[in-house]
Amino acid sequence: MKQLPSLTVLFLLLICLRGSAQEEAIVQEGEYGISAGASHYFGDLNPNPRFNRPNIALGAFFRRQFGNYVALRIAGHYAFLGYSDKYNTSNEFMRRRNLSFNTNIWELTLQGDFNFFKFVPGSLYDRYTPYITLGAGVFNYNPYAYYQGKKVYLRELGTEGQGSAAYPNRKPYGTMAVCFPLGVGVKYNLNRNMNLGFEVVYRFTSTDYIDDVSTTYAPDAQPHLLPDGSPTLWYAMQDRSNELGTPIGIKGRQRGYSNQKDSYLFAEIMLSFNLTSYKCPNPGGL
């Protein structure tokens, strides 16, 4: 009878080892999922920066798992970005500058994800992990603003003299740029098939023209007036300070901050579905 407690402990130990072996036999091959949350812009119109004008971000992704700690992810996103100098109430120059922009962002990225903890779908113990993510990608943008109630695309105007004979060194910027995502996240395994996560990822970019603002005013780049004496659309959009009073757009005066590239951030909730396989446990291990 004295052997009964020892046999009970051994029996429980075998059950635990068998359960552990079954969990180890589950191999996560990858995940596919969707994400939704907020986007925010940082740049010449929001240099401080402030998180006061979030917009929408939506995404879809596929993550290929390499073991329990490392994964490679390809993701596509749509986001809306925008800002206005009217929010810069504490900076008199920026308030009087009176510039604004909106743009749609279409983004494709390739990222590496690195888990802090072992992550095994369906496990009772390894179902949660924080992670870091970093990578590179490309995105499309085309800033616009509203003038007298009409949408005006700014890139084709050359508001800082881009493409004009008067400023040959200022080349028109494109609608594509490179981004470098860097961020953190956390994910939790709901069941063997589904995960819920949250991540915040900052995007460094290769452009300073997401907001169409970068260098100095160039009021002599193009003609000012139409035949009827009204200002040309280009002249009206390159310096909008006159809408609030005396114009400030003197040639050579700072309009933006050319030494600092624009950037943006996504904060999203993520729902993913696991792709798993089953590796038969080794009976010799029990």
pLDDT of residue 189: 95
Q: How confident is the model at residue 11 (pLDDT cuts 50, 70, 90)?
A: very low
Q: How confident is the model at residue 218 (pLDDT cuts 50, 70, 90)?
A: very high
CB 81 within 8 A of CB 105: yes
DSSP 102-130: EEEEEEEEEEEEEESS---TT-SSS-EEE
Give the 3-state secondary structure percentages of the chain, helix then strand then coil, rounded to 5. Answer: 15, 45, 40
Q: How confident is the model at residue 17 (pLDDT cuts 50, 70, 90)?
A: very low
Write out the two tokens for 251: 């040639």
Judge whether residue 232 has pLDDT over 60: yes
Judge whether residue 21 has pLDDT over 90: no
Q: Can you tell me whether residue 81 is helix, strand or coil?
A: strand
Judge whether residue 285 has pLDDT over 70: no
Compare 27 and 216 and report the one with higher pLDDT: 216
Q: Can you tell me whether residue 269 is helix, strand or coil?
A: strand
Chain mean pLDDT for the chain: 90
Judge whether residue 119 has pLDDT over 50: yes
pLDDT digit string, tens, across residues 154-169: 999 999 999 999 999 9
**CA-angle at 83, arms to 106 and 169, nearest 5°:** 75
Compare 73 and 8 and report the one with higher pLDDT: 73
Compare 24 and 199 and report the one with higher pLDDT: 199
pLDDT of residue 242: 93
The H-or-E segment that residue 76 falls in is strand 70-84
Judge whether residue 25 has pLDDT over 90: no
Q: How confident is the model at residue 16 (pLDDT cuts 50, 70, 90)?
A: very low
Q: How confident is the model at residue 5 (pLDDT cuts 50, 70, 90)?
A: low
Closest residue by Cα to residue 214 from 190, 178, 238, 231: 238
Is the pTM for the entire model greater than 0.75?
yes
